[in-house]
Amino acid sequence: MNPDTPMYATCPSGIASLLADELTAFGASNVRTAGAGVQFSGGLGVAYRACLWSRLANRVLLPIHSGPSATPEELYATVQGVDWSTHMLVNDTLAIDGFTAKSAMTHSQYAALTVKDAIVDQFREAVQERPNVQTDQPSLRVNAYVFRDKVRLAIDLSGDGLHRRGYRQAQGPAPLKENLAAAMLIQSNWPQRCAAGEPLVDPMCGSGTLLIEAALMARDIPPGRLRIYYGFLGWAGHDETEWNACLSEADERIKAAADNTLPAIIGADRDAVAVGAAVANAKTADVANDIQFHRQSIDAPLRTKPGTTGLVVSNPPYGVRVNDDDGLYEKIGVQLSREYAGWQCSLLVASRQAVKRSRLPLKSEVAFQNGGIDCDVMIGVIPQARSQKVDTAGFKNRVKKNQKHLRKWLERSDIFAYRIYDADLPEFAMAIDVYDCDARYVVVQEYEAPSSVNVAMADQRRQAVLDVLPELLEVTVSRIFLKLRRQQEGSTQYTRQDDSRVLAVLDEAQGKLELNFSDYLDTGLFLDHRVLRQHLFTESRGKRVLNLFAYTASLSVAAAKGGALETVSVDLSKRYCEWACRNLELNDFPGDEHQVIRADVMDWIEDASEQDSPPQFDWVILDPPTFSNSRDLDHDWDVQRDHVACIERCMKLVAPGGTLVFSNNYRRFKLDRNAIQSVCPGVTIEDRTAWSLDRDFQRKARIHQCWFLIK
């Protein structure tokens, strides 16, 4: 075989460049990536090394002929142009792998059948006998690739997928292909890290593929060592001497690495069956003594030598194996940050959004498919904790300063629910609200830290704050409630956070309100709307008030308490409508004059505004969510995109001289004044944002935006 004869190695999409580097290391020349693989040359010696040693390739192909294939007749004639007796004997077996793309022939099986017929007919005409077809381990496997009406015929030297190493006798659901595991390790620089003595840990190892591939690399064992079948073994062009030399070279390398001391290679899984499969597979691969396996969950640490850094690599459950919302990635982020700060981390994931929940600073380095699922290898360094001791002196001083600043104002204004701290110091990124009801309650809302902040350090800071709050704010530990405030997805803001219910009643001048400290992210009262509640309390006497997206109807209560003739509160949530009714009942307001309507707010506005005589209100409160994709809606809602059309409809419900109060908490929101004034001629628009923020919220001036639109 001419050493300049071009060959082709296929591989999963996304790793061709890694395969090109690998083939170059085998001595290949003229290496270049092409399609879903790598073209190279170098003769049979390089081809044999690729079959035995490649950790990344799927197959190694030797192209032998090409020609037209627009019709079955053309394909047949092209195949007949090869002297097949130079590749096999008549008593050998044959298999054809056919693939078609962008060609007149669209049926791959039919193309393969045509190739088979051409080969066996050639033998029948020459010696009146024909080779038999055998799909499993044939003497000769031919690859026929029909692309744009041209066929490329190649001998499959590998004979079977090279990712099938032969050690994986047992496996769990959706196993990771061996060559993809190897690609993940190579992309993570495991060979270099191993040589430097760094340990490797897989806390969710499943049947152990990543760990076994890592040990094979560490021991310099060829991945094809256990294979007894290659496509070239039955091929007439096979060079037995060259192959034996390749095997001898492999034996010498294995012996040379046998006495090497390897760094720790450790894996764990909570599933006993998976761990048993991993142990069995490692024994088959002859690396069982190089890997430590444990049965335990991600919550438990896998101990290595203190002070060491290394590589954490894993293929967490995804797709049908796990619900992305079940908290798994939060657990992964917390545990890896606690135990492996400073380590390199590589995760194979099917959802980049899920990885964001881990708060690990990982970026996609390789993308490929595993089991038909699009996946990314996300790689990064787990941030180091800066300190194991948290100094809370600055935090305590700031809270005390805020208390002193607010004390007289709170007493003078009869305010019993207020914000005492709002991320005033960046290292303590949380909001702290105080509620003086029958007793004092404190809600700590922790803002989600960026991925650059070590989770273990964030845990320590949070706990340090919780430890000082009882004395600092004179509150019992059982009445401190911790919430995580982060960008919400779907309806997670409104789902139950805890099953232990803690209720209380807040009694302020604007009315009594039921609060729930335990069950949900929000307590049932938006403290930053206090000024608006006070304004409605003083300006609603004898007026009609419409409260849209009413939540628990605290604004309706304030208006009713101030003497409103009528309030109408509209919200889609059954839970919050019931809560709104309880708040109105707490203040002895009858249902006839103060209605709570459960309805899709957008549909309700549209229906009301299109009536011949739309109902008229002196005050209309519109405080919509930023985004909404509720399953009860026919279409989604985006406050930036949809606010003009919504305001136009709402203004039809505002009585002459009345006011639409429009607010939202989308920080990048920009009111389209020109569009509003074009659809609502004569409306006066007043920016009331600064006015609407009370003293305890003026440190965070972008907590919401507010406008009065006066008709």
CATH number where 46 lies: 3.30.2130.30
The most confident of the ranges 229-238, 316-325, 449-458 is: 229-238
**What is the SS3 assignment for 391-416?**
CCHHHHHHHHHHHHHHHHHHHHHCCC
Whether the per-residue pLDDT at 493 is higher than 70: the answer is: no
Q: Strand, helix or coil at 140?
A: strand
Residue whose tokens read 């029958």: 438
Q: List all residues 6 or more positions away from 648 whose beta carbon is below 8 Å from its beta carbon.
A: 676, 679, 680
Shared domain check, 471 and 355: no
| The pairing of beta strand 654-664 with beta strand 617-622 | parallel
393/489: higher pLDDT = 393
Whether the per-residue pLDDT at 327 is higher than 80: the answer is: no
632 pLDDT tier (thresholds 50, 70, 90): very low
d(CA 79, CA 84): 9
Rg of the Cα atoms in the chain:
35
Whether the per-residue pLDDT at 491 is higher than 50: the answer is: no
Looking at residue 495, its pLDDT comes to 42
313 pLDDT tier (thresholds 50, 70, 90): very high
Angstrom distances, CA of residue 163 to CA of 54, 58, 166, 253, 360: 9, 6, 9, 21, 30
Residue 510 lies inside a defined structural domain of this protein: no
Residue 405 lies inside a defined structural domain of this protein: yes
Shared domain check, 690 and 559: yes
Residue whose tokens read 């051409």: 118
**Percent above pLDDT 70 for the chain:** 93
Looking at residue 257, its pLDDT comes to 93
Shared domain check, 549 and 472: no
What tokens were used for 299?
Answer: 């919550």
Residue 233 lies inside a defined structural domain of this protein: no
Looking at residue 173, its pLDDT comes to 62
Looking at residue 384, its pLDDT comes to 75
- In 3D space, the residue among 140, 151, 155 whose CA is nearest the CA of residue 76 turns out to be 151
Looking at residue 1, its pLDDT comes to 77
Whether the per-residue pLDDT at 57 is higher than 60: the answer is: yes
298 pLDDT tier (thresholds 50, 70, 90): confident
Shared domain check, 461 and 393: yes
Whether the per-residue pLDDT at 451 is higher than 70: the answer is: no
Number of separate domains in the chain: 4
What letter would DSSP give residue 234?
G
Average pLDDT, the chain: 91
CA angle 229, 230, 234 (to 5 degrees): 95
Whether the per-residue pLDDT at 52 is higher than 90: the answer is: yes
Whether the per-residue pLDDT at 133 is higher than 80: the answer is: yes
Amino acid symbol at 614: P
Helix, strand, coil share of the chain (percent; to 5) = 35, 25, 40
358 pLDDT tier (thresholds 50, 70, 90): confident
497 pLDDT tier (thresholds 50, 70, 90): very low
Looking at residue 489, its pLDDT comes to 41
Partners of 597 in the β-ladder: 570
Q: Strand, helix or coil at 193?
A: helix
Residue 631 lies inside a defined structural domain of this protein: yes
Mean pLDDT for 294-300 is 85
547/453: higher pLDDT = 547
Angstrom distances, CA of residue 623 to CA of 492, 626, 641, 704: 19, 9, 15, 10
Mean pLDDT for 535-554 is 97
Looking at residue 320, its pLDDT comes to 43
CATH number at residue 392: 3.30.750.80
592 pLDDT tier (thresholds 50, 70, 90): confident
Whether the per-residue pLDDT at 471 is higher than 50: the answer is: yes
Cβ-contact 653, 669 below 8 angstroms = no
Looking at residue 321, its pLDDT comes to 45
Residue 13 lies inside a defined structural domain of this protein: yes
d(CA 316, CA 297): 12
What tokens were used for 72?
Answer: 């079955």
Phi, psi of 353 (to 5 degrees): -65, -40
Whether the per-residue pLDDT at 46 is higher than 50: the answer is: yes
Whether the per-residue pLDDT at 485 is higher than 80: the answer is: no
**What is the SS3 assignment for 624-682?**
CCCEECCCCCCCCEEHHHHHHHHHHHHHCCEEEEEEEEEEECCCCCCCCHHHHHHHCCC
Amino acid symbol at 664: N
Amino acid symbol at 395: F
- pLDDT, tens only, 146-203: 999 999 999 999 999 999 999 988 666 667 899 999 999 999 999 999 999 999 999 9
Shared domain check, 325 and 374: yes
Q: Strand, helix or coil at 94?
A: strand
Residue 507 lies inside a defined structural domain of this protein: no
- pLDDT, tens only, 663-708: 999 999 999 999 999 999 999 999 999 999 999 999 877 899 999 9
**Percent above pLDDT 90 for the chain:** 77
Shared domain check, 190 and 301: yes
Cβ-contact 281, 269 below 8 angstroms = no
Angstrom distances, CA of residue 384 to CA of 283, 308, 355, 365, 391: 36, 12, 19, 22, 18
Shared domain check, 635 and 614: yes
Mean pLDDT for 339-364 is 88
Angstrom distances, CA of residue 364 to CA of 140, 199, 330: 40, 23, 19
Residue whose tokens read 């050639």: 122
Q: Strand, helix or coil at 148?
A: coil
For the beta carbon of residue 548, count every other beta carbon within 10 angstroms.
Answer: 23
Q: Strand, helix or coil at 370?
A: strand
The most confident of the ranges 93-102, 314-323, 631-640 is: 93-102
Shared domain check, 291 and 414: no
Residue 513 lies inside a defined structural domain of this protein: no
Whether the per-residue pLDDT at 553 is higher than 80: the answer is: yes
Cβ-contact 225, 95 below 8 angstroms = no
Cβ-contact 158, 227 below 8 angstroms = no
Cβ-contact 205, 268 below 8 angstroms = yes
Whether the per-residue pLDDT at 279 is higher than 90: the answer is: yes
DSSP of 287-299, one letter per residue?
-GGG-EEEE--TT
Q: List all residues 6 or more positions away from 137 whose beta carbon is below 8 Å from its beta carbon.
A: 159, 160, 229
CATH number at residue 686: 3.40.50.150
Cβ-contact 131, 91 below 8 angstroms = yes
- In 3D space, the residue among 193, 161, 191 whose CA is nearest the CA of residue 177 turns out to be 161
| The pairing of beta strand 440-447 with beta strand 480-485 | parallel
Shared domain check, 457 and 571: no
- Beta strand spans in 533-614 (E): 544-548, 566-571, 594-598
Cβ-in-10-Å burial (0-12, 13-18, 19+) of 575 comes to middle
CA angle 423, 426, 430 (to 5 degrees): 35
Mean pLDDT for 559-564 is 97
Shared domain check, 139 and 61: yes
d(CA 462, CA 394): 14
Angstrom distances, CA of residue 228 to CA of 48, 141, 160: 14, 16, 11
Shared domain check, 656 and 533: yes
Angstrom distances, CA of residue 601 to CA of 26, 457, 633, 640: 67, 43, 10, 17
Q: Which domain range does residue 480 map to? A: 387-486
Q: List all residues 6 or more positions away from 359 whose beta carbon is below 8 Å from its beta carbon.
A: 330, 333, 337, 448, 449, 450, 451, 453, 455
Mean pLDDT for 648-657 is 97
Helix (H) or strand (E) holding 253: helix 240-258
Cβ-contact 354, 324 below 8 angstroms = yes
CB environment 52-89: b (16+ within 10 A), e (fewer): bbbbbbbbbbbbbeebebeebebbbebbbebebeebbe
301/328: higher pLDDT = 328
Residue whose tokens read 């047949």: 76
Looking at residue 567, its pLDDT comes to 98
Give the domain-ending residue among 486, 507, 532. Answer: 486
Shared domain check, 25 and 150: yes
d(CA 314, CA 316): 6
For the beta carbon of residue 636, count every other beta carbon within 10 angstroms.
Answer: 11
Residue 2 lies inside a defined structural domain of this protein: no
